Amino acid sequence: MPSRALSFYSRKLNDLQAKLEFLDLFENEASKRGVIRHAIPKTLIDQVGLGTLPQRLHKTYQRAFFSNWVAFYFIYKYGFNGTTVDLFHFARDLAA
């Protein structure tokens, strides 16, 4: 893949991640738990516990981890043309 295309994809991913860091989506506990449940290996969740993991990780790292995972998988699922409505539905599905 040409470097120009990689630069475009990287910029789009970084832009979405930056937007996600400042949305209230991170404050939604159900969505946060959904991301942890999807992103953290099951063996670690089984060992430490879903409720304990966030207590052991600084809030800044949690927010960065959350926004990075959501941005990557949102783009993976909807592509770069995903809308705000798509993001809303994606976030709602994380909480389920």
Cα separation of 92 and 30, whole Å?
Answer: 9
What's the alpha-carbon Rg for the chain, to the nearest Å? 14
The secondary structure of residue 52, as a DSSP letter, is: T
What is the domain count for the chain?
1
What does each of the 96 residues of the chain score in pLDDT, given as a tens digit?
567 766 878 888 888 888 877 777 888 888 888 888 888 889 988 999 988 988 888 888 888 888 888 888 988 888 888 888 888 788 778 877
Beta-carbon contacts of residue 48 (< 8 Å; ≥ 6 apart): 56
SS3 (DSSP) at 50:
coil
- Which residue segment(s) compose the domain that 79 sits in? 3-95
